[in-house]
Amino acid sequence: MESETNMEGNCNIRAAMDKAAETMTPTRRTIAKEGDAPVGAQQLIRCTEEEKDNWKTVAANEGISVSEWIRNLLNKEALKKLVCQHPAEMRKSYPWSEKCNACGERIR
């Protein structure tokens, strides 16, 4: 008798969860942008609750997830550090290479 009640309760819970899932919008994705490979690596970031709430608010205002917002921000900053941002006038070009006179980076 007890197992029948327990089984019946599980069926009701499963039915309720299935019904609720029909109206939910998934918020996690394994693909960052259309055409990108699956994003599987994780980076743990320690922050305060206030910082986390601020990030969540900004991401929601932009209509994206917090993970995507952080990823976009960090990728933009990494490009600034990894790729010379100086204007072409500050570059010295040779047939075999191109170098930035401002930062010393070899462009090609």
pLDDT at 1: 46
User: What is the residue range of 48's domain?
Assistant: 2-100
pLDDT at 40: 77
Cβ proximity of 62 and 69 under 8 Å: yes
The residues, ordered by sequence, that sit 6+ positions from 96 with a Cβ below 8 Å of its Cβ are none
Would the CA dihedral through 26, 32, 35, 39 be positive or negative? negative
| 40 belongs to a structural domain | yes
pLDDT at 94: 83
| 106 belongs to a structural domain | no
Reference 102, options 92, 93, 90, 94; nearest CA is: 90
| 105 belongs to a structural domain | no
| 56 belongs to a structural domain | yes
| 76 belongs to a structural domain | yes
| 74 belongs to a structural domain | yes
| 83 belongs to a structural domain | yes
One digit per residue, the tens of pLDDT, for the chain of length 108 reads 445 545 555 678 888 888 887 887 766 555 555 556 566 788 888 999 999 999 999 999 999 999 999 999 998 888 877 777 778 788 888 888 888 888 877 777
| Rounded distance between C-alpha atoms, residue 52 and residue 29, angstroms | 19
| 17 belongs to a structural domain | yes
Total number of domains in the chain = 1
